[in-house]
Structure 1
Amino acid sequence: MNILSPSILAADFKNLGHQIADVDKAGAQYLHIDVMDGVFVPSISFGMPVIESIRSATDMVFDVHLMITDPIRYIEEFAKIGSDIITFHQEATDDPQAVIDKIHSFGKRAGISIKPDTPVSVLAPYLDKVEMILVMTVEPGFGGQKLIPKTLDKIREVRAMLNEKNLSTDIQVDGGISKDNVKTVIDAGANVIVAGSAVFKGNAGDNAAELLKILGN
């Protein structure tokens, strides 16, 4: 099943509650929440108070993407405020397995992410330890970028690695996804699609519905 995860990084924050309701009504299954610390990535986004404040606005799966250094420090807090999936970067920790174990200890699904220049081989030890792998299709830290074409090969590599082990682990893609290229990333092997500007620039509900139709939902 293909899943749409609209990224609120591109939302209009003065109308955030309404826009969340619009994408929820359209049928989007996840809500992607980018947490940036200004250290692991140059930008600073939002953190726990925002997530906690919108948790009561929807029953959508909160797909929280931690772009922060040493993520294990904050797993408990993000779990307690309503995250359902917590994804961290392989590059941000010296002990990915410890982070995975910490996420699972709170009954949450774990995801591991890599940047465009990180080889997929670093994921090999964790393929059967996580519920989702996030292949960044842009450099993390800023919205509105164009998809980097070489990342399509990374998606194919990850899917081949999973197929070889007969694993059904989700592959998420994040960055530069549009109505024009979403079919391409699906064909490459992704099944969880993060879309920011493609959803929230314009009528969020209509855009989400159109993307879901392309995804076959």
Structure 2
Amino acid sequence: MSDRPGTDRPILIAPSVLPADFSRLGDAVEALDEAGVDRIQWDVMDGRFVPNLTFGPDVIASCRDRTELLFEAHLMVEDPDPLLHTWVDAGCGLVIVHAETCRHLHRTLGRIKDLGAGAAVALNPSTPPEVVEHVLDLCDMVLVMTVNPGFGGQRYIDTMEPKVATIRRWIIDRGHDCDIEVDGGISPDTVRGPVGAGANVVISGSSMFKDPAGLGHAVDELRRLAEAARA
């Protein structure tokens, strides 16, 4: 058994559907399921917190019956609180809010749990880990952004790895049951660093969809390299 932190938690491969053909999202969800992913992430962008617009709850709901995999909603929106229920109603079992957008983060996380979903917090690259230190007891997951949010295909920021390590140490030392996810620029070339630092949920988008050998190969390779980072 590796002595690296967080190795008691399974590696989970969670692709973003952002690079998929938006006219065939249901087919993309089925293809990802067949490729062996563990869950699917929906990047919800409002055109305000980030420049782009993406998926509403009706779009996500329309794909819900195409797989039994967990859907996670990554809410890159300025004011998530009034519409939290819509993402849960759309079939998202995990809802991720950005710490930068929540005036009362503790209350928001509690509301997500009251709605029956898992609760998670995302941190932008410039946001220090201390922002989540005192809400970890409410978190099913912390998402450490390894790019600035809003666009796919960005370059991985390796200086986020110490942030991952810090949060993982807090989780272990305080006995919390909490995953750490990394999102942004994750590929076979970059996955070892954040997993070695303590991440166990890996988001990949552009790299996975562009793999010339197909989605199944992309998933298998990413999982193999992530597991090897723990050895």
> TM-score when scaled to structure 2?
0.90
Partner of 1:4: 13
Q: 1:21 aligns with which of 21, 30, 41?
A: 30
State the AA in 1 paired with 2:90. Answer: I
Confirm or deny: 8 A CA contact 1:112 1:132 kept in the other structure: yes
Q: Is 1:215–2:215 an aligned residue pair?
A: no
Structure 1 runs of 4+ aligned residues shifted over 3 Å read none
Query: Post-superposition shift, 1:193?
Result: 0.5
Q: Is 1:108–2:117 an aligned residue pair?
A: yes
Q: Is 1:92–2:127 an aligned residue pair?
A: no
> Map of 1:137-176 to 2, 5 A cutoff?
137-176=146-185
Query: Post-superposition shift, 1:178?
Result: 0.3
Confirm or deny: 8 A CA contact 2:64 2:91 kept in the other structure: yes
State the AA in 1 paired with 2:82. Answer: R
Partner of 1:40: 49
State the AA in 2 paired with 1:210. Answer: E
Partner of 1:60: 69
Distance 1:42 1:13 in 2: 18
Partner of 1:81: 90
Confirm or deny: 8 A CA contact 1:155 1:190 kept in the other structure: yes
State the AA in 2 paired with 1:155. Answer: V
| 1:33-57 deviation line (CA, Å, top 9, x unaligned) | 0000011111111111210111011
Query: Post-superposition shift, 1:151?
Result: 0.7
State the AA in 1 paired with 2:217. Answer: D
Confirm or deny: 8 A CA contact 1:91 1:114 kept in the other structure: yes
Structural RMSD (CA): 1.4
State the AA in 2 paired with 1:168. Answer: D
Please give the secondary structure, in 2, of the residue aligned with 1:125: coil
State the AA in 1 paired with 2:43. Answer: D
Distance 1:28 1:138 in 2: 22
Number of residue pairs aligned between Structure 1 and Structure 2: 217
State the AA in 1 paired with 2:216. Answer: G
Confirm or deny: 8 A CA contact 1:11 1:201 kept in the other structure: no
Q: Which piece of structure 1 moves more, 18-27 or 129-138? A: 18-27
Distance 2:108 2:79 in 1: 9
State the AA in 1 paired with 2:220. Answer: A
Please give the secondary structure, in 2, of the residue aligned with 1:163: helix
Query: Post-superposition shift, 1:167?
Result: 2.0
Q: Which piece of structure 1 moves more, 42-51 or 104-113? A: 42-51
Confirm or deny: 8 A CA contact 2:125 2:144 kept in the other structure: yes
> TM-score when scaled to structure 1?
0.95
Distance 1:179 1:199 in 2: 9
Distance 1:49 1:200 in 2: 24
